[in-house]
Structure 1
Amino acid sequence: MLKQQRADYILDKLNEIYPETPIPLDHKNNFELLVAVLLSAQCTDIRVNQVTPALFALADNAFDMQHVPLDDIYKIVRPCGLAPQKSSAISVLSKMLVEQYDGVVPDDWKALESLPGVGHKTAGVVMSQGFGHPAFPVDTHIHRLAQRWGLTKGNSVTQTERDLKKLFPKETWNALHLQIIFYGREFCSARGCDGRVCEICTTCYPNRKNPLIAHKP
């Protein structure tokens, strides 16, 4: 298969397996989504969903969160890892949202990325899942699968994002990045598939004889 043929097949297959793409992080508003995505860095969505109910019971908006003592935030988010950085980021970004954006999560890439703890990937998730703008947030898992499926040779998530955006129609991006995550967890995990096990890998590369070692970003 040529690269575009692989992309077309993958899109059809993922649409078949995952016609619905529920957002995996529990939230009731864009502030909660922003905080949940921030917490999900180097942490599972399951763990984040276990932690956020207690956090959002204290404060589910920037106005209230800015007044929550930092130590109280830290004690709740500690199971997510990187707790000192994450708790500080939640506290500071809440104050920034109140001071600069009237407590509202901004519908703007540059503004989101200016917030502490919010990188390009986190901003992309909020822009796509929170505001519905076309975005293709790429994490290390999507980066690994894109390499296994021959969609990129990039050594960074930035390059992988550019390559994927060229291959797939813009209107598919928001659902597709979730579909790839779902498929990776279910069929093409880091330990469960080495590029020669799951259906997409074996269809794209039926003659692959050696395990594929993805370049880490």
Structure 2
Amino acid sequence: MALNNTFTTMFDKAIGNGHAHEYKNKWVVVEHKNNATMNHLEVNATGDFLGFDHDLVKGVKDTTVRMSSKLEDKDCDGIAFLNDNSKQEHLVFAELKSNFDIQKITGAFHQITMSFVKMHAWLSLCKDYDLDKIKVHFITACKCYKDKDQEDNVKLRISEAQQLEKETFETKFLKPLLDKNNIKVKLSSFGDIQKLPFHDCICEKEVYMYLQLTENPSDSQTSVTIS
């Protein structure tokens, strides 16, 4: 049985709670906040998606704040299972942000990481779940630089962090993401994972990390392709 079927058989209420929807070759993530100016992300891949909105992982306090003062009850805009044509299984997490703001982009990946922790806690109960064999994608989508000044300021922040030889979000993640659009990193490189004694299977897991920008500052949507 495919992992998405195992999950929804075990946690059958997830279908209603997370407003599950099936997609072919394209999963659409919609920002739920009405005032958001970035509200639509298309995730393209060859295969079948089962997508959920943020409500799937919203308010899961038993796994987080009720039992831990260190795990935050954060949620991202969307989570999907993807079964591609080669029968490879994927878990995809997405968060949309309305501005190019380093603090907000950092926060987006924090939201995604906490959402992953919740999903992993549930999936670890499911038959045939093996994190090693699943491709995991963390996608943050946001507007591109609003102008040249903002672009120069971001480049300056990256340059200053590099000169100080500090391992910051800017040097570790932001620069390579701006250079390549997506990178492969171990979960242990995230501060959220580093600071707690997570299981080795989580710490050693390599995930694909994406920063997808709009073409224009006025755009309210963008798309990304994963494989």
TM-score, normalised by the number of residues in structure 2 = 0.25
Normalized per residue, the structure richer in strand is 2
Normalized per residue, the structure richer in helix is 1
Report the structure number with the largest CA radius of gyration.
Answer: 1
